[in-house]
Chain A
Amino acid sequence: MYKELDEQELARYCCGRDRLAEDELYTRYAARIYTLCRRYLGDDDKAKDLMQETFIQALDKIQTFHYTGKGSLYGWIRRIAINRALNLIKRQRWRTVSLDLMSHDKVQEPTEEVMESIPQEKLLEWISRLPDLRRTVFNLYCIDGYSHREIGEMLGISEKGSASILAKARKQLKEEIQRYLNRQR
Chain B
Amino acid sequence: MRKWEDIFKDKMDGYESTLPEGSLSEFHALKERADNASARKHFPLAWVTAAAVAAGLAAVLLLRHPASQEDGVPAARQPETPVAVASETAAVSESAKNPEITAAPEAISILESISPDKGSEYRQTNPVDAQRVLPMEETHVTVDSEEDSFPNETVSSGSPEVAAPNKPGIPSVPPFAPSGKSIKTVKLKVGPVAGAIAGGGLLAAILTPAIVEIDNMNLPVITKPISSISSSTGGNIGSGIEGSQTTPPGQPSEPIDTTNPQDQDKPADVHTGARSHKIPFRTGLSTRVPMSERLNLTTGLEYSRYESSFKYSISGDKTQVAHYLGVPVRLDWTLASSRWLDVYVGGGLEGDYCVGATIAGERINKDGFSLSLLGVGGLQLKLTDWLGVYVEPQLSYTLPHESNVLETYRTVHPTVFTLSTGVRLSLRKKQ
Q: Say how far B341's CB is from chain A's closest CB, in angstroms.
A: 10
Measured CB to CB, the residues of B under 8 A from A are: 1-5, 7-9, 11-13, 15-20, 23-24, 26-27, 30-31, 34, 38, 290-294, 334-339, 385, 426, 428-429, 431
Chain A residue, CB-CB nearest to B15: A120
> Is residue A59 within 8 Å, beta carbon to beta carbon, of the partner chain?
yes
| A127: nearest chain-B partner, CB-CB | B12
| In contact, B20 and A98 (Cβ under 8 angstroms) | no
Number of interface residues of A (CB under 8 A): 52
Contact B9 A99 (CB under 8 A): no
Cα A115 to Cα B4 in complex, Å, equals 7
A118 to B26: give the CA distance in the assembly, Å: 33
Chain A residues within an 8 Å CB radius of B11: 115, 118, 120, 123
A48 partner residues in chain B, CB cutoff 8 A: 20, 23
A52 at the B interface (CB under 8 A): yes
Contact of B1 among A31, A88, A112 (CB under 8 A): A112
Q: Does A102 touch B at the CB level, under 8 Å?
A: no
Name A22's closest neighbour in chain B (CB-CB): B31
- When distances are taken between beta carbons in the complex, the residues of chain B under 8 Å from A95 are 293
In the complex, whether A16 has a CB less than 8 A from a CB of chain B is no
Residue of A53, A94, A96 with most partner-chain B CB within 10 A: A94
Are B20 and A143 within 8 A (Cβ)? Answer: no
A31 to B20, CA, bound (A): 9
Q: Which of A52, A93, A123 contacts B30 (CB 8 A)?
A: A52
**Pair B337/A97 contact, Cβ less than 8 Å:** yes
> Would you call B17 and A99 a contact (CB within 8 A)?
no
Q: Which of B5, B16, B31, B335 contacts A142 (CB 8 A)?
A: B5
Asked whether A143 lies within 8 Å of B9 as measured between CB atoms, the reply is: yes
Nearest residue (CB) in B for A120 is: B15
> Which chain B residues border A55 with CB–CB below 8 Å?
27
- Judged by a CB distance under 8 angstroms, whether A27 is at the interface is yes
CA distance A35 to B11 in the complex (A): 11
Given A97-B337, A120-B15, check contact A92 B431 (CB 8 Å).
yes
Chain A residues with CB under 8 Å of B336's CB are 97-99
9 tightest A-B CB contacts, nearest first: A99-B336, A31-B16, A115-B7, A120-B15, A35-B17, A110-B4, A97-B337, A93-B290, A95-B293
B17 and A38: CB pair below 8 A?
yes
* Chain B residue nearest to A122 in the complex (CB): B11
A132 CB → nearest B CB, Å = 9
In contact, A35 and B12 (Cβ under 8 angstroms): yes
The contact of A52 among B3, B4, B27, B429, by CB within 8 Å, is B27
A124–B24 CB distance below 8 A = no
A142 and B334 form a contact (CB under 8 A) = no
A60 close to B (CB within 8 Å): yes
The complex places the Cα of A23 from the Cα of B13 at a distance, in Å, of 23
Residue of B26, B38, B334, B337 with most partner-chain A CB within 10 A: B337
Whether, in the assembled complex, A171 has its beta carbon less than 8 Å from a beta carbon of chain B, the answer is: no
Task: Flag if A56 contacts B30 (CB, 8 Å).
Answer: yes
* A119 closest partner in B (C-beta): B11
Contacts of A170 in B (CB 8 A): 5
Q: Is A135 an interface residue (CB 8 A)?
A: no
- Nearest B residue (CB) for A84: B431
Across-interface contacts of B20 in A (CB, < 8 A): 44, 48
Shortest beta-carbon distance, B91 to chain A, in Å?
Answer: 73
Q: Provide the residues of chain B in CB contact with A44, threshold 8 Å.
A: 20
Q: Chain A, 88-131, contact with B by CB distance < 8 Å: what is the 0/1 string?
A: 10011111111100000000011110111010110110010101
Residues of A within 8 A of B339 (CB): 96, 129
A126 to B1, CA, bound (A): 23
Knowing A31-B18, A93-B429 are in contact, say whether A120-B1 is a contact too (CB < 8 A): no
Q: Is A32 an interface residue, CB under 8 A from the partner?
A: yes
A88 to B, closest residue via Cβ: B431
Q: Chain B: which residue is nearest A139 at the CB level? A: B12
* B2 pairs with A96, CB closer than 8 A: no
- Which of B5, B24, B290 lies in contact with A27, CB distance below 8 A? B24
Beta-carbon contact of B27 and A26 below 8 Å: yes
Q: A38-B17, A59-B31 are in contact. Are A99 and B335 (CB under 8 A)?
A: yes
- Chain B residues with CB under 8 Å of A121's CB are 17
| B-side contacts of A148, CB under 8 Å | none
Name the residue on B nearest A95 (C-beta): B293
Q: Residue A86 at the B interface, CB < 8 A?
A: no
Q: Does A30 belong to the interface (CB within 8 Å)?
A: yes
B294 proximity list for chain A (CB < 8 A)? 97
Residues of A within 8 A of B334 (CB): 97
Given contacts A115-B11, A142-B9, contact A124 B337 (CB under 8 A): no
Chain A min CB distance to B234 (Å): 74
What 1/0 mask marks residues of chain A from 68 to 83 whose CB sits below 8 Å from any chain B CB?
Answer: 0000000000000000
- Contacts A94-B426, A116-B7 given; does A52 touch B26 at CB 8 Å: yes
